[in-house]
Structure 1
């Protein structure tokens, strides 16, 4: 752990030295940083704040969607695990900017059943960015049913989908 801390301090020192040298190189004749360096630092700070704010809003939206999904699944009475009876298709972005994925359910029971399927949308790093519950109603015994999961908000970047909880009832 000591070696890691020392390396981190050394790296931080190198970065600070580079920034100081860059500022000195771009200073006016009186030794003060030029407007370009000050503007660049301000732009970097503003961009960082915007990214942080967007990430925070995305996390809040995902948390809210997860809470709604949990409530919907809790409303299902006498549901049995049916995750292995769900297949998700190819994730696409619709023209309105929302992300969708086809959901196919296979009813292995003899009687007509309905399904509640939680679909989790994740970003490139695997972080949850949205979750929805799709209901596929009245699937005939030994038959299949179709539905479409649609994100609750516009998602950007590469998005994948996976089945969270799936209940047959």
Structure 2
């Protein structure tokens, strides 16, 4: 067996996962895969500056919702963390989740929470809307790729983000 090919296959699966998430959820501005920690980092952008009290309120609502979801699913996540950084007139909000307990439905929940709590200030790339059939295909692909990434060790740190209607993926 050629291990170099296997490694490329693992990277391809990880790249497919990141691309599928960004295609399915235009609200996610950037996504990173940290293979050492087995953590996915989702970045959402708030158009404006959130002060610390507003951020703490938002953080409490989102983290609590994710914890309740996982409790109802009978899962005990290792990493559920929300951080933020303010740059210029934007607030970058990052959610970290361990890959082992993450499922596609939880990703959809995170996106829906952001849409609900910061709808008119959530930076979203405007694309042609996907039809229901395409949405279902992307969701199934995300779930499938998550299962593959969970079961295989990968050593490439990957970054995916949007740029003028395109999805770009880099390794570092």
On whether the aligned pair clears a TM of 0.5, the verdict is no
Q: Which has the greater radius of gyration? A: 1
TM-score calculated relative to the size of structure 2: 0.28
Higher strand share: 1
Higher helix share: 2
Higher relative contact order (CA 8 A, sep 6+): 2
TM-score calculated relative to the size of structure 1: 0.28
